[in-house]
Amino acid sequence: MHNSERLVVITGGTKGIGKALVDRFASEGWPVATCSRNESDLDALRGEISEKHKTLIHTFKADLSKKEGVKDFVEFVQMIAKPVEILVNNTGVFNPGPVLEEADGALEQMIDTNLYSAYHLTRAIVPAMKQNKSGHIFNLCSVASLKAYPNGGSYSISKFALYGFSQAIREELKEFGVRVTSILAGAVRTPSWDGVDIPDERFMKPEDIAETIYTSYRLSERSVIEDVVLRPQLGDI
């Protein structure tokens, strides 16, 4: 089946890693469906990608931290009427602060966005993958999924949970030919780091994460990269 006959679904595709992923897959002729909470960001992305790669990108405004938003996005994806070959659960939020001092509701916000969005979307998309006996799910976990760090707070809790979810579905889907990869990345230069007095060279590039995901997908169906740990060359920030 040619790339153009299958669909790549990337959540949070207008900035940072998500945008780099949209660009990378579009450059190979893949139709992409993505979402964001900001309509103008989606319009800008659609214009930029279609002009650069002359390929189709489907955009939808949705807040995936809400179950209803996931449901609406799923309906949009299903209307495209192409089998989903790749699902990248990229949507996330990071609010720093110690667990014992962070604002009330911080855990709920990060669990809703970083865990439940991936949980509900995957459960909706994966039945067709199982039926087709083909597909690859990438979950954007974090080095915070492996080890808590100062001021990480509930972000680390949510990313530990996402990594657990990723491992669970890997076990459930292996016999159906659906691959699952956890991306455990350190600091990447994305808009969430704007205003921080750290040189860009100290961070990883979003394009490096996108290339890692693309390359992981390109392996033969006989192999799967279960976990990828990436850090800035000089170590964590």
The predicted-structure confidence for 25-71, as pLDDT tens digits, reads as follows: 999 999 999 999 999 999 999 999 999 998 889 999 999 999 999 99
Question: Half-sphere exposure (CA, 13 Å, Cβ side) for 151?
Answer: 4
Q: Which of 116, 119, 149, 155 is catalytic?
A: 155
- Of 138, 98, 156, 102, the closest CA to residue 17 belongs to 138
Q: Which pTM was predicted?
A: 0.97
Burial of 70 (0-12, 13-18, 19+ CB in 10 A): buried
Do residues 11 and 32 make contact, with C-beta atoms less than 8 angstroms apart?
no
Do residues 63 and 39 make contact, with C-beta atoms less than 8 angstroms apart?
no
| pLDDT of the residue at 18 | 97
Do residues 187 and 204 make contact, with C-beta atoms less than 8 angstroms apart?
yes
Do residues 39 and 33 make contact, with C-beta atoms less than 8 angstroms apart?
no
Do residues 128 and 83 make contact, with C-beta atoms less than 8 angstroms apart?
yes
Distance between alpha carbon 178 and the CA centroid of its chain, in Å?
17
The domain ranges of the chain are: 3-230
For residue 2, what pLDDT band results from cuts at 50, 70 and 90? Answer: confident
Phi/psi of residue 175, nearest 5 degrees: -75, -10
- Of 207, 202, 194, the closest CA to residue 236 belongs to 202
CATH superfamily of 3-230: NAD(P)-binding Rossmann-like Domain (3.40.50.720)
For residue 4, what pLDDT band results from cuts at 50, 70 and 90? Answer: confident
Consecutive H or E run containing 140: strand 135-140
- Residue 155 a catalytic site member: yes
Q: Rounded to 5, what percent of the chain is helix, strand, coil?
A: 50, 15, 35
